[in-house]
Amino acid sequence: MTGRSSKLRTTALVGVCAALLTASATACGGSSGKGPAAAPPPLTSSGAGTTPKSATPEPSAQPGSPADLAALQRVVPQPVSVTAGAGTFTLSAATAIHASTGAEPIAADLAAYLKQQTGLALPADGGEDAPIQLILQATGGDPAWGTEGYRLTVGTVSIKITAADPAGLFHGVQTLRQLVTADDRIQAGVIADHPRFAYRGVMLDVARHFFSVADVKSYIDAAALYKVNEFHLHLTDDQGWRLTVPGYPKLATVGGASQVGGGTGGSYSADDMKAIVDYAASRYMTVIPEIDMPGHVGAAVHADPELACDGRKHGAVTTVSPAFDSLCTTSESPYKFVDSATKAAADATTGPLLHLGGDEAQALNLTQYNGFVKRAQDLVAAHGRTPIAWGEAATAPLLPQTVLEYWDTAHPLPAIAQAAAKGTKLIMAPGDHAYLDQQYTPGFKLGLHWAGYLPVSKAYNWDPVTVLPGVPPTSVMGVEAPLWTETVKSLADAETLAYPRLPAIAEIGWSAPESHDFKQFSQRLAKQGPLWDRLGIAYYKSPEIPWS
Ligand code: TNX
């Protein structure tokens, strides 16, 4: 769970740069195809699906031309190094995939992805001489890989992905998917890659509008294409309670029976939660459940009025605006509820982190709020989970392991940087750069704009270690792109707000800051459009992006 990893890997590339054209930001002194090419030969023709001559074929040793490098520049997030070779590999239905021991599920994933994208049904059970090789190499690989890094080599007759861990192989598969062109070709070259931050999250608010398990899976699946590895599920809020909690049946049945604008809402059974958690795990993502407290509990006090202090009946909240109800922190009964709800969230998930909310508790004074946050953290910890809380919780006494999530750029609390200076880890989700629910432009058909308008360039142009002054860079665990759903009624609405900004934030979380360049990013991003069209992902055709 530690934060940052290394910078661009420049030294190891020196030898390769002499022969092949590289787009690592600094390695060979060139990028975007403008670097010096070593006597580029003409493109060689592809060896479509042919059997390689050796069992572990190496990629084309022919140096790539600037045009070859440009053809390879279509990956988001930008990899650590991209080195072009000459020629292309062409996929066919006869191109078999071989997996080393332990990599078999990822070979099946690759085959399924390529079927979805190209219509070709590649055999995923190829032998050791198969043209596509997925190799798990636990020892002796590049130490820079860590668990999520990988090396992808593409030649005219073979493709090989090597990684130390299945997560790295899976990320390599995502890179490979993005490299496949409309005519089923893949540019030759070598990509070496690993993430900057360990935490690269997205959040989906299923409380304001309910989303079916199938929709949640689709949202996860699309985010996996951009190497997102944390899925924060905002399960409860004023307008809906979506988690089944033993001992409190009305939370789901009554608190779950509505949403913004009314309607039927919904909630997840234990089986539903397991389906989400298992699906996320198959995409190398960990689910972080959130129970938002002590404010944002409109649905909870509607279901169980004794959780509030006033003893009155609370109607269902169906408005966009918050209800500003609160748990009754001065009595004991809400803590039994907090214990049960956080236990249910812990039991429904498998990851180390559990979000206890803590935002916008306007109905409490600071003493009441701080006292609540202290006890809620202890209960989360007692269930074996590391607490996360929204930035406001910085005013409370924090457990040493509690993580804060920075969001409120309209009121940046000095206590957050102060906590970070004392060792608290931070997740960066600044509203004015990372909130996918903020409108792209004035009048955009979806979204809010309390943090300002958020065009793609603004989602891209920020650095997590400098966005909040006074924060030590080592305290930053990573980034998150939350999608609040007050105005989001369908998966297509969610995707329209997330694409193309989610890939921008994913790149901020994965790629070295030296490689960040909006113009170059927007050209790579433009090449994702046809893939989204093929996969049926809705997106906003922002005029900032040179869609082809
Ligand atoms: C603020 S972010 C909220 C949410 C809203 C969001 C809308 C946060 C911790 N609280 O309750 O949905 O703004 O952008």
- pLDDT of res. 21: 64
- pLDDT of res. 228: 99
- Output the six-digit token pair for 135: 């190799």
407 lines ligand 1 (CB under 6 A): yes
Report the atom number in ligand 1 closest to the C-alpha of 429: 2
Atom 5 in ligand 1: residue holding the nearest Cα: 484
Report the atom number in ligand 1 closest to the C-alpha of 407: 2
Q: How confident is the model at residue 311 (pLDDT cuts 50, 70, 90)?
A: confident
The tens digit of pLDDT for each residue in 472-531 reads: 999 999 999 999 999 999 999 999 999 999 999 999 999 999 999 999 999 999 999 999
- pLDDT of res. 22: 60
Across 76-94, average pLDDT: 97
359 lines ligand 1 (CB under 6 A): yes
- pLDDT of res. 61: 60
320 lines ligand 1 (CB under 6 A): no
Atom 4 in ligand 1: residue holding the nearest Cα: 484
Atom 12 in ligand 1: residue holding the nearest Cα: 484
Is residue 172 within 8 A of residue 193, CB to CB? The reply is yes
Across 94-111, average pLDDT: 97
Nearest to 203 by CA among 532, 429, 478, 518: 429
Across 451-470, average pLDDT: 98
Rounded Cα distance, 32 and 513, in Å: 16
- Statement: residue 52 has pLDDT above 90: no
Intra-chain end-to-end CA distance of the chain, in Å:
39
**Angle separating helix axes 213-224 and 491-498, nearest 10 degrees:** 20
The tens digit of pLDDT for each residue in 14-40 reads: 222 323 466 543 332 222 222 222 223
Q: How far is CA 260 from CA 34, 211, 257, 263, 276, in A?
A: 51, 12, 11, 8, 23
Strand pairing of 159-163 and 240-241? unpaired
The tens digit of pLDDT for each residue in 116-151 reads: 999 999 999 999 999 999 999 988 888 999 999 999
- Output the six-digit token pair for 520: 């170059």
* Mean pLDDT of the residues in the chain: 90
Atom 2 in ligand 1: residue holding the nearest Cα: 407
Report the atom number in ligand 1 closest to the C-alpha of 391: 9
> What are the backbone dihedrals phi and psi of residue 395, each rounded to the nearest 5 degrees, phi first?
-75, -15
Rounded Cα distance, 217 and 108, in Å: 18
What letter does residue 42 receive in the DSSP assignment? P
User: What is the residue whose two structure tokens read 């960990």?
Assistant: 286
- Greatest Cα pair distance, the chain, in angstroms, is 80
Is residue 60 within 8 A of residue 155, CB to CB? The reply is yes
317 alpha carbon to ligand 1 midpoint, in Å? 16
Q: How many CB atoms lie within 10 A of CB 247?
A: 12
- Statement: residue 168 has pLDDT above 50: yes
Report the atom number in ligand 1 closest to the C-alpha of 437: 14
> What are the backbone dihedrals phi and psi of residue 185, each rounded to the nearest 5 degrees, phi first?
-105, 160
Catalytic residues: 360
437 lines ligand 1 (CB under 6 A): yes
390 lines ligand 1 (CB under 6 A): yes
